[in-house]
Structure 1
Amino acid sequence: MTADRIASESTKVNNKTETTGLVGLAVCATPHERLRILYTKILDALEHIPQNAAYRKYTEQITNEKLQMVKEERDVQKLEDRLQGGQIEEVIEQAESELNLARKMLQWKPWEPLVEEPPANQWKWPI
């Protein structure tokens, strides 16, 4: 176990996590179910984005991999280690943020052409 892992280790009483040890981050009683729901919602949102869009392609791949890990690994500690995102509650927060981003991407439509052409030397540096 790494030093930072020990520092952020959950407090457990009678094999039940009482606190995450992180201010403002409550323990999730059903992390597998919560992650399964979030990852499924992310994948549903991605279906509305064109298949050739980079965001969809890469986010879909990563989300499917994570969803598979959630389905395969029932032990929370082992799942945290496999996902490599910190405590399971932190992983849940990351999934919630990704879902929000996927929904915003649907509004922003970054895969569509620009409204106007960029200036000729926009990406040239130094000017």
Structure 2
Amino acid sequence: MARLLKKTTGLVRLAVCEGPHERLKVKKLEDQFQSGQIEEEIFQAENKLSLARKMVQWKPWEPLVKKPPANWKWPI
């Protein structure tokens, strides 16, 4: 069994990811990303994948079913 290199990420509600430690050199990856810990990168990638799956269902590239009202404005 692989030993855990980190006990905590130091971030609230973000647990240490145990999987990558077997195959990856985590510190080297974190240095390459220069944006945070590997757990943060995994979390962001999972969110992007989830959004991509939703976009396939929503099909935002298709035309609208009906035209929006004339006074409709995009929320800013």
- What is the TM-score when the length of structure 2 is the normalising length? 0.68
Partner residue of 1:87 out of 37, 41, 58 = 37
- For 1:113, the aligned partner's letter is P
**Which residue is 1:24 aligned to?**
13
May I ask how many residue pairs the two structures share in their alignment? Answer: 70
More strand per residue: 1
Runs of at least 5 residues in structure 1 that lack an aligned partner in the other structure: 1-14, 34-73
Q: Secondary structure at 2:51's aligned position in 1?
A: helix
Q: Please say if residues 80 and 88 of structure 1, whose CA atoms lie closer than 8 Å, have aligned partners that are also in contact.
A: yes
Structure 2 CA distance, aligned partners of 1:119 and 1:16?
56
How far 1:118 moved relative to its partner? 4.4
Deviations 1:67-110 (A, max 9, x none): xxxxxxx4212212222441111111101111110111111100
- What is the TM-score when the length of structure 1 is the normalising length? 0.44
Residues 102 and 32 (structure 1 numbering): CA distance in 2 closer, same or farther, change over 3 Å? farther
Looking at both structures, which has the greater relative contact order when contacts are Cα pairs under 8 Å and sequence separation is at least 6?
A: 1
Structure 2 CA distance, aligned partners of 1:98 and 1:92?
10
Percent identity, please. Answer: 67
Q: Please say if residues 14 and 39 of structure 2, whose CA atoms lie closer than 8 Å, have aligned partners that are also in contact.
A: yes
More helix per residue: 1
